[in-house]
Amino acid sequence: MARAATIHVCSDCGHTEPRWHGQCAGCGAWNTLVEEAAPPKATAGGGRGAGRARGSTNAALARTPTALRDVHAEQTKRLHTSIGELDRVLGGGLVPGSLVLLGGSPGIGKSTLTNMALGHLAQAGHKTLYVTGEESAAQVRLRAERLGPGALDVPIVAETDLDAVIATLDAERPAACVIDSVQTLHAPDLTGAPGSVGQVREVASRIMGVAKANGTAVILVGHVTKEGALAGPRVLEHLVDCVLQFEGERERTYRTLRALKNRFGSTNEAGVFEMRSGGLVEVLDASARFVGEATGKPGSVVLAAMEGSRPLLVEVQALVSPSELVPPRRVVTGIDRNRLALVLAVLGRHGGIGTGTADVFVNVVGGVRVDEPGADLAVALAIASAQKGVALGTPERPLAAFGEVGLTGELRSVGHPDRRQEEAAKFGLADVVAPPRVTSLRAALRAAFATAREEGPVRAA
Ligand X SMILES: Nc1ncnc2c1ncn2[C@@H]1O[C@H](COP(=O)(O)OP(=O)(O)OP(=O)(O)O)[C@@H](O)[C@H]1O
Minimum Å distance from CB 169 to ligand X?
A: 21
Specify the amino acid at residue 33: L
User: Could you tell me the CA-to-CA distances from 109 to 94, 115, 183, 222, 257 in Å, in that order?
Assistant: 19, 10, 17, 12, 11
Is 107 annotated in a binding site? The answer is yes
| 104, interface contact from Mg ion, ligand X, Zn ion, none, CB < 5-8 Å by kind | ligand X
274 binds ligand X per the rule CB under 6 A: no
146 binds ligand X per the rule CB under 6 A: yes
48 binds ligand X per the rule CB under 6 A: no
Minimum Å distance from CB 281 to ligand X?
A: 10
Which residue from 104, 174, 311, 403 is in contact with ligand X, where contact means CB under 6 A? Answer: 104
The 3 state secondary structure assigned to the chain is CCCCCEEEEECCCCCEECCCCCECCCCCCECCEEEEECCCCCCCCCCCCCCCCCCCCCHHHCCCCCCHHHCCCCCCCCECCCCHHHHHHHCCCECCCCEEEEEECCCCCHHHHHHHHHHHHHHCCCCEEEEECCCCHHHHHHHHHCCCHHHHCCCEEECCEHHHHHHHHHHHCCCEEEEECCCCCECCCCCCCCCCHHHHHHHHHHHHHHHHHHCCEEEEEEEECCCCCECCCCCCCCCCCEEEEEECCCCCCEEEEEEEEECCCCCCCEEEEEEECCEEEECCCHHHHHHHHCCCCCCEEEEEEEECCEEEEEEEEEEEEECCCCCCCEEEECCCHHHHHHHHHHHHHHCCCCCCCEEEEEEEHHHCCCCCHHHHHHHHHHHHHHHHCCCCECCCCECEECCEECCCCEEECCCCHHHHHHHHHHCCCCCCECCCCCCEHHHHHHHHHHHHHHHCCCCCC
Is 110 annotated in a binding site? The answer is yes
| 12, interface contact from Mg ion, ligand X, Zn ion, none, CB < 5-8 Å by kind | Zn ion
Size of the site for Mg ion (CB under 5 A): 1
39 binds ligand X per the rule CB under 6 A: no
Q: Which of residues 253-312 bind Mg ion (CB under 5 A)?
A: none
| 13, interface contact from ligand X, Mg ion, Zn ion, none, CB < 5-8 Å by kind | Zn ion
Is 105 annotated in a binding site? The answer is yes
| 107, interface contact from Zn ion, Mg ion, ligand X, none, CB < 5-8 Å by kind | ligand X
| 52, interface contact from Mg ion, Zn ion, ligand X, none, CB < 5-8 Å by kind | none
Site stretch for ligand X (CB under 6 A), options 57-65, 205-213, 269-277, 399-407: 269-277
111 binds Mg ion per the rule CB under 5 A: yes
Site stretch for Mg ion (CB under 5 A), options 103-111, 364-372, 408-416, 426-434: 103-111
Site stretch for ligand X (CB under 6 A), options 22-30, 109-117, 382-390, 440-448: 109-117
Phi-psi region of 188 (alpha: psi -120 to 50; beta: other; left: phi over 0): alpha
140 binds ligand X per the rule CB under 6 A: no
- Among residues 24 and 301, whose Cβ is nearest to Zn ion? 24
106 binds ligand X per the rule CB under 6 A: yes
| 372, interface contact from Zn ion, Mg ion, ligand X, none, CB < 5-8 Å by kind | none
432 binds ligand X per the rule CB under 6 A: no
275 binds ligand X per the rule CB under 6 A: yes
Size of the site for ligand X (CB under 6 A): 14
What are the residues binding Zn ion (CB under 5 A)? 10, 12-13, 15, 24, 26-27
What are residue 367's phi and psi, to 5 degrees? 80, 15
277 binds ligand X per the rule CB under 6 A: yes
Q: Which of residues 110-139 bind ligand X (CB under 6 A)?
A: 110-112, 134
250 binds ligand X per the rule CB under 6 A: yes
Is 106 annotated in a binding site? The answer is yes
Site stretch for ligand X (CB under 6 A), options 34-42, 103-111, 166-174, 200-208: 103-111
Residues forming the annotated binding site for ATP? 104-111
User: Binding site: which residues?
Assistant: 104-111
